[in-house]
Amino acid sequence: MYSIIPRLNISFLVLTAKKSVFSVLNTIELNKMQVFTQKRNPITGSTEWDVQHEDYDYHQEIARSAFADMLHDTERNKKYHRALQLAIEKMHRNGKKANVLDIGTGTGLLSIMAVKCGADSVTACEAFKPMADCCVKILQRNGVADKIKIIPKRSTDLIVGDDGDMPERANILVTEVFDTELIGEGALSTFDHAHKHLLEEDCIVVPDSAVIYAQVVECPMLQKWNKLNDLVDEDLNLILRTPESVITATGKAQAVFMWWELNMDTEVTPMLI
């Protein structure tokens, strides 16, 4: 059985049983809990897998990952904190308890913010168990371990009910499951499942919305990183042809720069991150 766990700028492919992986060149025998780490080649721009020994220390990857960068992103953290504060205050003004769900909690930072902002309950899930274990220690060091329930599961595996992971649906969702492409870590399916199974209908989501921007550029170096293949059918007939006259400026369309912004709250001046 295989499971891929993407976390920030690294991913882990974990094999939970003995398997043989066949390739054109060779066959590799993989023992229980053999681990691959996914990393980006800075020269080619492609993503590659590195085979690690079963004794591989996950915590070293955590230390080298972007978790620390996020923790020190003061401006981002202030906006998340303010958005959580507004969401919790709104629930209390409406006479409701503020029940927060934190998906992909990582170090637990957003869950701690929710507690500090007055949340009545906080449930946090983290699928990567070494990170979840680290989070438990962080909560203990910050004196909030008794106020935040950590569940080492994917959010799509959470069960709501008396005998489940959450006694009731949450009415506030906070999450930071975004990557450089915004939705590359499965954000759309995560939000869709949460709304259907984990959240109340009138819930507040932090962040509230997002906008993706794209700009076509001419850059021979970037063009070398990726090659676009022709789109053909089974008989090798060309399906997609180059459109006629769609340019607005002279030059070659060799790459697309993309960036995105998050709108943390729509009821006040938009807070973009």
Domains in the chain and their CATH numbers? 2-65 (no CATH), 68-209 (3.40.50.150)
> Which 3 state secondary structure label does DSSP give 91?
helix
Matching residue, tokens 């709108």: 263
At residue 21, the pLDDT reads: 43
Strands (E), 16-91: 19-22, 27-30, 35-40, 47-52
Catalytic residue among 176, 200, 201, 218: 176
CA 108, 128, 196, 111: dihedral to nearest 10 degrees?
Answer: 0
Q: What is the pLDDT of residues 205-239, one digit of tens each?
A: 999 999 999 998 888 888 778 766 777 787 888 87
CA 243, 244, 250, 253: dihedral to nearest 10 degrees?
Answer: 10
* Beta-sheet pairing, 170-175 with 199-206: parallel
What is the pTM assigned to this prediction? 0.71
**Residues 6+ away with beta carbon under 8 Å from 111:** 100, 102, 105, 122, 124, 139, 144, 148
Catalytic residue among 185, 200, 201, 234: 185
Q: What is the pLDDT of residues 138-182, one digit of tens each?
A: 999 999 999 999 999 999 999 999 999 999 999 999 999 988 888
- Active-site residue flag, 234: no
Gap between the Cα atoms of 201 and 222, Å rounded:
44
* Beta-sheet pairing, 148-151 with 10-15: unpaired
Strands (E), 76-195: 99-103, 121-125, 148-151, 170-175
At residue 183, the pLDDT reads: 86
Which structure tokens are listed for 32?
């229980």
Q: Which residues of the chain have pLDDT under 50?
A: 1-2, 4-5, 8-12, 14-32
At residue 62, the pLDDT reads: 62
Strands (E), 76-175: 99-103, 121-125, 148-151, 170-175
- Active-site residue flag, 61: no
